[in-house]
């Protein structure tokens, strides 16, 4: 499958609903974000290992989470779990030069590789990569329009909810009855929080602390 067939499939299956999401995913070269030996599988709709027990999410999940959060041009977005940097690159394409993407990775080696890759591909001015504990977010850069978490938390981290702007949205997988469920957390203009259950998922766990 090539990238065009993949995007057509995701549109057909309803994961991609907006033109800007399709265009962003067509523009970002996913093969640059996977290990050399896995490049032939870059446009298959499945997660792939990127080392250190981490994965690059399946393209349908990347699209689904971005659509669920409603990321748009000009947004200031916080991503928890940089991984390979692929998701941050797609987000950068959507938010455009008026927006900004802040992304946190707890494993220093992955963060450094992702930063290097993003800079090489021209996203360095739009994406800032940090090494840190994602569950704490980046309060010094808050508030954010959107927060996307790519690791499963035991419960919704209130520190992240606090870093959402009124009217902001967070999409996060959370442990649930022995499995995981993807939640959409909407912070109303009045600060009231609404939580919507979206679908069952499977992500690596959201861990505290950092690793070299």
List the catalytic residues.
57
CA distance 174 to 153: 5
Number of H helices, E strands in the chain: 6, 9
Q: Are 87 and 150 in contact (CB under 8 A)?
A: yes
Please say whether the dihedral angle defined by the alpha carbons of residues 136, 211, 53 and 81, taken in this order, is positive or negative.
Answer: positive
Could you give the C-alpha distances from 188 to 145, 193, 208, in angstroms and in order? 12, 6, 28
């Amino acid at each position: 499958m090539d990238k065009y067939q993949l995007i057509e499939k995701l549109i057909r299956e309803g994961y991609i609903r907006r033109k800007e999401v399709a265009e962003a995913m067509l523009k970002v070269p996913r093969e640059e974000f996977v290990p050399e030996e896995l490049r032939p599988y870059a446009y298959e709709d499945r997660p792939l290992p990127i080392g250190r027990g981490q994965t690059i999410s399946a393209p349908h999940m990347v699209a689904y989470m971005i659509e669920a959060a409603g990321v748009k041009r000009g947004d200031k977005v916080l991503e928890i779990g940089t991984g390979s940097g692929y998701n941050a690159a797609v987000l950068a394409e959507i938010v455009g030069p008026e927006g900004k993407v802040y992304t946190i990775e707890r494993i220093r080696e992955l963060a450094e590789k992702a930063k290097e890759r993003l800079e090489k591909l021209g996203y360095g001015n739009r994406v800032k990569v940090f090494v840190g504990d994602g569950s704490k977010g980046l309060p010094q850069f808050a508030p954010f329009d959107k927060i996307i978490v790519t690791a499963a938390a035991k419960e919704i981290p209130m520190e992240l909810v606090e870093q959402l702007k009124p009217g902001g949205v967070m999409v996060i997988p959370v442990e649930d009855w022995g499995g995981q469920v993807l939640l959409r957390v909407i912070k109303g203009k009045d600060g009231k929080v609404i939580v919507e259950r979206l679908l069952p998922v499977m992500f690596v766990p959201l861990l505290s602390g950092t690793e070299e």
